[in-house]
Amino acid sequence: MTGSTLTVEELDDRVVVTLRRPEARNAINAAMVRELHEVCTVLEERPRLLLLTGGDGVFAAGADIGELRERGRDQALQGINSRLFDRIARLPMPTVAAVDGYALGGGAELAYACDIRLASPAAVFGNPEPGLGILAAAGACWRLRDLLGASVAKQVLLAGRRLDADDAMRLGLVAEVVPTDDLLKRAHALLDRMARSGPLALRLTKLVTDAPGGHPVTDDLAQAILFESSDKSVRMDAFLAGGRS
Q: Please give the residue ranges that form the binding site for ligand COA (CB under 6 A).
A: 24-25, 27, 61-66, 102, 104-106, 128-129, 132
67 assigned to active site: no
Helices (H), the chain: 30-45, 65-70, 73-78, 80-89, 106-113, 145-148, 150-159, 165-171, 183-195, 199-210, 217-227, 230-240
The one-letter amino acid code at 12 reads D
CB of 116: closest distance to ligand COA in angstroms?
Answer: 23
> Do residues 190 and 96 make contact, with C-beta atoms less than 8 angstroms apart?
yes
176 assigned to active site: no
Choose between 92 and 101: whose C-beta lies nearer to ligand COA: 101
Catalytic residue among 70, 109, 176, 228: 109
CB of 106: closest distance to ligand COA in angstroms?
Answer: 5
Choose between 27 and 114: whose C-beta lies nearer to ligand COA: 27
Choose between 49 and 59: whose C-beta lies nearer to ligand COA: 59
CB of 202: closest distance to ligand COA in angstroms?
Answer: 32
d(C-alpha 47, C-alpha 37), whole Å: 14
Q: Helices (H), strands (E): how many in the chain?
A: 12, 10
Catalytic residues: 109, 129
